[in-house]
A and B are shown apart, each in its own frame.
Chain A
Amino acid sequence: MSALAIPNRPALSRQLARLPGWIVLVVWTAAVLLPLYILVVSCFKTTAEIYDNRLGLPARFAFDNFVNAWTRADLGHNFLNSLIVTGGAVTLTIVVSAMAAYPLSRYRLGWNAIMLGLFLSGIMLPIRLASVELFTLMRNLGLLDSLTGLILVYSAIRIPFAVFIFANFMRVLPSELDEAARMDGAGEVRILFQIILPMVKPAVSIVAIFTAIAVWNDFFFPLIFIFDDRYKTVPLAISVFVGQFRTDWGLVFASLAISMAPILIMYCLLARQIREGVGAQGGMK
């Protein structure tokens, strides 16, 4: 960093030279935050107020739109479905991927590389193109209109990435770790869940964060597998709302705010891990 400080120039002119750069950064910050600000203040306005008072704060902070979105448009139900699917898929992905990554990264099996390659090939597979055959499969298994079906499909899609991350983290742990436990008579299941997994907590959080974001946000699979309103997830419900309640802008803004709330909260708590996780993935190749 210090190598980049411009030497031999007075502080004021150095700051002045940096002004255009700061302006560029602030302009994009506004481009990101202004739409989100409008989204938030519009949630508290009636449709008439949204037209009259575009940018200002609402006349009063009324929660009618939120209540209407949650009950009349039944977003509460969709919210619960999304929570179940996200929670289920994150849990299943972490458990089965950690189990698979443990022998693949720490045993000498002779076929580690081939099996790992088979999993890794799935990271980039365009699974949407298989949706016709997947639809037939789900129908035959009785998994259409089912949250379990969504959990299984999402886990299947996220397993390659999770195995990759877990295997990378587990490979570098010292081998004395499991050998000592084995000497003490611990079984392989205990070694994995009580010794290895607690050592790779960063991997668990990377997998949990990125699986949760991907599953919570997905729209394509509910669109083709879910027909019954009782099982619709948040993104699917939102895509319907936007057309259905076109004239009731406050309601649509409120439902958008509700649907991004969990991700927003998670992002505020975990922004640093997410930034570092994404940056690291870029360097990984």
Chain B
Amino acid sequence: MANLSRTSSLKRTQQRMAVLFILPALAVYALFVLYPLAMSLWGSFFLWKGLRMGEFAGLSNFARLFVFPSDARLYGALWHNASWFFGIMLFQNGIGLLFAWLLFLRDRGAAFFQSVFFFPAVLSPVIVGALWRLLLAPGGVVEWALNGLGLHQGSLTVLGNSHTALWVLIAVDAWNWMGLPVLIYTAGLRQISGQIFEAARLDGAGNARMLFSVALPLLMPALGTLTTLSFINTFNQFDIVYVMQGVQGNPSYATDTLVTYFYRLAFGAEGAVGITDIGLALALGTMLFLILSIGTLLMLRFFDRRTVQL
């Protein structure tokens, strides 16, 4: 009896202490993350005058996104984000798998190469963007090197050319984050039992067969994590574009992304400088939120189903 009452008094103390302990984190998180996000989603259904919310507008903000003059910006940005995602999947997560496999096959040097490959990932995208902007500038070291090797003649204008600019930014982003797939794949490969590779080897599988037929199916969780992370990162892409090409996504919006477009609408750099269109910005934000949540859920499910259980 005495024991029981002590337990229940402990339970009551714990409930009270739990509330006190959780409150600071919950308050900061709710006030600065949950509340503004909920208000942004809610506000996308209203008319806006400057930063003041007006009357209920239904889906009219969303309808305006898809007509002139917003439609060209929206489809352009969507296309650039989608290209960015596929570019990163191919160049970063694809080549990263090759690097991880090569490191896995070697007993020596893995830690060194991993550390070097991951180093750019701890740098700010602003620094990475600024560095590559200097290196790739007309008169910069890349132009000098290409001219010296006879691979290119005259001034290098890849960042000013609307056909190449986006792909240069994607390459810079891949350079920035290459270490991430290398680390995640190597961690995944090390979890696979050595007996599996031994059995495949005895069956006469070569290195390439082992990678694609044995290791890759077992790397589905790692591939799922990387695909989801790359999806979220590319659809949030802002810093590299801002620093290297300006907030307009120069040249002539060729590197514009959904978040740079959102930023211009929300903070007044689209059309006349200083004029904002909050209704349109919030509608774009809500759409992007849906793209990200639905995309992430679908990807997690897709990779969950393809995870091989041993």
Contact = CB atoms under 8 A, between A and B. Distances in A.
Contact of A278 (B43, B99, B144, B183): B183
Contacts of B272: none
Contacts of A85: none
Interface string B14-42: 11011001101110110111111101100
B29 A160 contact: yes
Contacts of B132: 35
Interface stretch (A59-67, A69-77, A248-256): A248-256
Interface string B168-181: 00000001001110
A109 interface: yes
A33 B116 contact: yes
A193 B222 CA distance: 35
A109 B185 CA distance: 38
Contacts of A92: 28
Contacts of A21: 102, 105-106
B130 A219 contact: no
Contact of A216 (B13, B22, B51, B124): B124
Given A54-B141, A132-B278, A278-B184, A235 B127 contact: yes
A32 B123 contact: no
Contacts of B103: 25
Dominant SS among interface residues on chain A: helix
Interface in B90-134: 98-99, 102-107, 109, 111, 113-120, 122-127, 130-134
A69 B92 CA distance: 34
Given A35-B131, A126-B292, A263-B122, A137 B36 contact: yes
A103 interface: yes
B296 A124 contact: yes
Interface stretch (B80-88, B154-162, B193-201, B248-256): B193-201
Contact of B25 (A18, A36, A97, A217): A97
Interface string A232-257: 00110011011000000100110010
B33 A127 contact: yes
Interface string A69-98: 000000000000000000000001001110
A259 B39 contact: no
B195 A253 contact: no
A223 B134 CA distance: 22
Contact of B32 (A51, A137, A163, A260): A137
Contact of A3 (B102, B195, B267, B281): B195
A157 B187 contact: no
Contact of A282 (B18, B184, B286): B184
Contacts of A188: 13, 17, 21
B282 to A, nearest CB: 6
B39 A133 contact: yes
B43 A133 contact: yes
A129 interface: yes
Dominant SS among interface residues on chain B: helix
Interface in B214-247: 221-222, 224-226, 232, 235-236, 238-239, 242-243
Given A132-B282, A153-B32, A224-B267, A282 B225 contact: yes
Interface string A87-116: 000001001110110111001110000010
A122 B29 contact: yes
A234 B124 CA distance: 10
Contact of B105 (A4, A38, A135): A4
A130 B21 contact: no
Nearest to A2: B194
Contacts of B117: 28-29, 32
A256 B25 contact: no
B238 to A, nearest CB: 6
Given A126-B232, A133-B39, A238-B127, A156 B105 contact: no
A4 B197 contact: yes
Nearest to B115: A271
Contacts of B285: 129-130, 132
Contacts of A274: 118, 122
Nearest to B96: A28
Given A35-B131, A115-B22, A157-B33, A29 B187 contact: no
Contacts of B124: 216-219, 234-235, 238, 259-260, 263
Contacts of B188: 282-283
Contact of A219 (B125, B179, B201, B262): B125
The 10 residue pairs across chains A and B that have the minimum distance between CB atoms = A282-B184, A279-B187, A217-B124, A156-B32, A103-B18, A129-B285, A100-B25, A133-B36, A130-B36, A3-B194
Given A129-B262, A238-B126, 9 more contacts: A3-B195, A3-B197, A109-B15, A119-B26, A155-B32, A156-B28, A159-B28, A220-B238, A242-B243
20 contacts: A28-B178, A100-B22, A104-B18, A108-B11, A108-B14, A119-B25, A119-B26, A122-B29, A128-B262, A130-B39, A136-B51, A188-B13, A217-B123, A219-B124, A219-B242, A238-B127, A242-B243, A256-B127, A275-B114, A279-B184
